[in-house]
Amino acid sequence: MAFDLTGRLLIATPAMGDPRFARSVILLCAHGDDGAFGLVINRPMPDLTFAEVLEQLAIGAGDPPAHQTVLAGGPVEPVRGFVLYRDDDAAGTPEDAALPGGLALSASPEILEAIARGTGPADWVLALGYAGWGPGQLEEEIAQNGWLTADCDPALVFSPTRGDALWQRALQSMGVDPLTLSAVAGHA
């Protein structure tokens, strides 16, 4: 592997051939010779609230954050949950994975319990499912003009803006106008 994209954003281009990832923004949580793992950060789940997730897990909550959207993190294991949060909050568990840029990732119900009690991290997102690539697969998709890569801006990750608006903001953070993108490699 020539480069490690862990902690960077993948931003889908019009050439993205997989409709499940059209106009997606993904935070890559792991990237190596064995493949890649990331969370889609701009796809809200319209029919699921954070309070319902807590109820399904039998986690009591006094007053769960009403503003928090549950994200569709990707098509793989769509019932498995991940909490992405600012590591400087020191509210995680020892099993959590530290990511570049001061972020951390947890799959522990303990962090959901802390959030429900009001003692969890201040900045966090909950995603169900993830995006995964086998060895070389992501690199091939990038070479075929399916993805742009960008530095991760936590302001994008934890923004209340989601959907196509976040996709456009991610592109604009790179200085790219979404209207100038082409689905053909080698053309702007």
Could you report the per-residue pLDDT of 148-180, keeping only the tens digit for each?
999 999 999 999 889 999 999 999 999 888 777
Range of the structural domain that residue 39 is part of: 9-180
What would the 3-class secondary structure string for the chain be? Answer: CCCCCCCCEEEECCCCCCHHHCCCEEEEEEEECCEEEEEECCCEEEEEEHHHHHHHCCCCCCCCCCCCEEEECCCEEEEEEEEEEEHHHCCCCCCCEEEHHHEEEECCHHHHHHHHHCCCCCCEEEEEEEEEECCCHHHHHHHCCCEEEECCCHHHHCCCCCHHHHHHHHHHHCCCCHHHCCCCCCCC
pLDDT of residue 182: 63
| pTM of the shown model | 0.90
At 187, the pLDDT band (50, 70, 90 cuts) reads very low
Q: What is the CATH number of the domain that holds 78?
A: 3.40.1740.10
Number of domains in the chain: 1
98 inside domain: yes
1 inside domain: no
Could you report the per-residue pLDDT of 127-155, keeping only the tens digit for each?
999 999 999 999 999 999 999 999 999 99
pLDDT of residue 114: 87
187 inside domain: no
Could you report the per-residue pLDDT of 45-102, keeping only the tens digit for each?
988 888 888 888 888 766 666 557 899 999 999 999 999 999 875 666 677 888 998 9
3 inside domain: no
171 inside domain: yes
